[in-house]
Amino acid sequence: MKDKKDRILEIAKEISPELIQFRRTLHQYPELALEEVRTAREIADALHKIPEIEVSENMADGTGVVGILKGKKEGGRCVMLRADIDALPIEEETDVEFKSQNPGCMHACGHDAHTAWIVGAAMILSRLKEEFAGTVKFVFQPGEERGRGARPLIEKDRILEDPPVDAVFAAHAWPTVRAGKIGIASRYAFGCAGVFSIKITGKGGHGSWPYECVNPISAAVQICTALQGIAAERVDSTEPRVISVCSIHAGQKGLSNVIPDTCTIEGTIRATDRAIMEQLKKEIEGTAAGIAAAYHAECEARVMIGLNAVENDPDLIRLSKKSGEEILGGGNCYIIDKKHLGGENFSEYSSRVPGCYLFVGIATDKTEGRFGLHSPIFEIAEEVIAPASAVFADIVLNYFQLCDCDS
**Average confidence (pLDDT) over 358-372:** 96
Cβ-count burial 257-289 (b if 16+ within 10 Å, e if not)? eebbbbbbbebbbbbbbeebbebbbebbbebbb
pLDDT digits over 172-231, tens only?
Answer: 999 999 999 999 999 999 999 999 999 999 999 999 999 999 999 999 999 999 999 998
What CA–CA distances, in Å, run from 280 to 198, 230, 272? 14, 8, 12
Confidence of residue 403 (pLDDT cuts 50, 70, 90): confident
Whether the model pTM is above 0.75: yes
What is the pLDDT, as a whole number, of residue 1? 47
pLDDT for position 38: 98
